[in-house]
Amino acid sequence: MPLAFATLAVGFFGIMYLRGRDAALAVSSQWMVDTATNYNLSIIPLFVLMGALIHRSGISKDLFDASYAWFGRFRGGLALSGVLSCAGFAAVCGSSLATAATMTRVAIPPMRSFGYNDGFSAGTIAAGGTLGIMIPPSVPLVIYGIVAGQDIGVLFIAAVLPGIMLVCLFMLVAAIVTTIRPDYGPAGRAMRLADMLRASYATWPVIILFGVVLGGIYSGIFTPTEAAGVGCAGAFVFGVFRGHFLDLESLRGVFEETVKTTAMIFAIVFTALILAQFVNLTGMPHELREMILGWGLGPIGLVLMICAICVLLGMVFESIGILLLLIPVFLPALGAVGVDLIWFGILVIIVIELGLISPPIGMNVFTVKAVAPEIPLGSIFIGVLPYIVAMVVGGVLILMFPQIATILPDAMR
């Protein structure tokens, strides 16, 4: 059953059980209307539209070609290129599954032609795809900001350094694996400096969009919603400049993709908030807070417990569903023990990323498998294991050194 239907059923019938049918109808309809008119949610379709425009402009292939031009000559260079191109696409996409699906189509064929191990190649792209929900703009960070009552712009800025850290850790893993097993990632051909610069020049739209969106938010020129609008306009202009979106049919495809994705996200958001109202009516969040305070877990103990739950849920649910199911329940307890909710938001995103590639049901792994069905599922899970270690290391570093996530927001304030 789709997550939206499941959460709606539990929320609606739960409220009806506690307060009656009329109350359930009134609460459910009112929350849907109130949420649908929440101005902050307008950022989601705008960033989804920006990602669709960039995707259909063919920039994903340019990102991979540019990364390969610089790193292809090294052993494991195509894997390094895959990680970097995933990071670049994530910077204008905001979705983990979309990043994994897109880059699988772009990166797996050249990896295969150069004799790369299929499982390692697919594992690299599955892990690199998780960067889609860390590197801003990120739809899950928007959802977290709305549910937790945190500034979305500050969350975007806080995610920059952790995102860069994860990219570096993934590239380090790719280099180590191909050093230990040279047959997994043979070196490609070297390119002339002129060709390297030419390939890099094709990526300038992504660099400009990323700089304008985040730079505008950081400097206070734009609100996050205004930045999303500017990003959409910029993506459209760049697409037209590259010869796309010159007819109504191509634009129709972009808007259809945007509407379908936005409708799916909003359906989950609306129904999960109804479920959250049912949970609040039961008094469970406050009882949970009292119970946790009684256990004496402290801030770190509570955070580690939530992280463990996130990893388990990440094997089954998409990132947005996890946030909407967990954050309303644990928010009172997090506030009671004084957890920094900006830092916690970054950490929980990393943990959700971990769940998306963890066996037995890693959503990103299954996405890669769906796009490249000829690669055995077991091989992809084996290929992704080193990146799971890298992600655990990244989470531990954020846990031990919160400044990685907080130094830029602190400077912003």
Model pLDDT for residues 7-53, shown as the tens digit of each residue: 899 999 999 999 999 999 998 998 888 888 888 788 888 888 887 88
Does 52 map to a domain?
yes
Res. 98: pLDDT tops 90: no
The least confident of 22-31, 57-66, 257-266, 369-378 is 57-66
pLDDT of residue 73: 78
pLDDT of residue 258: 87
The least confident of 57-71, 78-92, 322-336, 399-413 is 57-71
Amino acid at 352: I
Does 30 map to a domain?
no
- CB-based contact 205:93 (threshold 8 Å): no
Does 12 map to a domain?
no
81 contacts: CB under 8 Å, gap ≥ 6: 64, 67, 68, 70, 71, 72, 107
Res. 374: pLDDT tops 70: yes
pLDDT of residue 354: 86
pLDDT of residue 61: 77
> Residue 370 is encoded by which pair of tokens?
């769906």
What is the number of domains present in the chain?
Answer: 1
CA 308 to CA 303: how far, in whole Å?
9
Does 218 map to a domain?
yes
pLDDT digits (tens, 9 = 90+) for 233-281: 988 888 888 888 878 888 888 899 888 888 888 888 888 888 888 888 8
Q: E strand or H helix at 119, and its extent?
A: helix 118-129
DSSP H helical ranges for 242-376: 248-282, 284-295, 298-314, 319-336, 341-356, 363-371
Of the CA atoms within 13 Å of residue 77, those in its CB half-sphere come to 19
Percent of the chain with pLDDT over 70: 99
Query: What is the per-residue DSSP string for 208-239?
Result: HHHHHHHHHHHHTSS-HHHHHHHHHHHHHHHH
Q: For all residues of the chain together, what is the average pLDDT?
A: 85
pLDDT of residue 404: 93
pLDDT of residue 384: 92
Does 22 map to a domain?
no
CA 309 to CA 302: how far, in whole Å?
11
Does 17 map to a domain?
no
pLDDT digits (tens, 9 = 90+) for 344-364: 999 999 988 888 888 777 778
* Confidence label for 285 from pLDDT (cuts 50, 70 and 90): confident
The residue range of the domain holding 168 is 40-412
pLDDT of residue 124: 93
Tell me if the bond preceding 360 is cis, omega within 30° of 0: yes
Res. 86: pLDDT tops 70: yes
Query: Which residue's structure tokens are 């947005």?
Result: 320
DSSP-derived 3-state class of residue 37: coil
402 vs 272: which has the higher pLDDT: 402
> Residue 29 is encoded by which pair of tokens?
């309809």
- Return the ∠ at Cα 378 (arms to 376 and 381), rounded to 5°: 115
Does 163 map to a domain?
yes
What phi, psi does 345 have (nearest 5°)? -60, -40
pLDDT of residue 316: 67
Percentages helix, strand, coil for the chain, rounded to the nearest 5? Answer: 80, 0, 20
Res. 288: pLDDT tops 80: no
> Residue 138 is encoded by which pair of tokens?
């990120």
CA 183 to CA 163: how far, in whole Å?
29
Res. 301: pLDDT tops 80: yes
pLDDT digits (tens, 9 = 90+) for 217-240: 888 888 888 888 888 898 888 888
> Residue 341 is encoded by which pair of tokens?
């909710």
Percent of the chain with pLDDT over 90: 21
Amino acid at 84: L
pLDDT digits (tens, 9 = 90+) for 150-200: 988 899 899 999 999 999 999 999 999 999 988 888 877 777 878 788 878
Mean pLDDT to the nearest integer, 318-338 = 83
Res. 413: pLDDT tops 70: no
Tell me if the bond preceding 137 is cis, omega within 30° of 0: yes
395 vs 93: which has the higher pLDDT: 395
Query: What is the per-residue DSSP string for 297-320?
Result: -HHHHHHHHHHHHHHHHHTTS-HH
Res. 315: pLDDT tops 70: no
DSSP-derived 3-state class of residue 364: helix
CA 59 to CA 54: how far, in whole Å?
6
Does 5 map to a domain?
no
DSSP state of 74: S
CA 171 to CA 174: how far, in whole Å?
5
pLDDT of residue 94: 67
Q: E strand or H helix at 112, and its extent?
A: helix 96-113
pLDDT of residue 204: 80
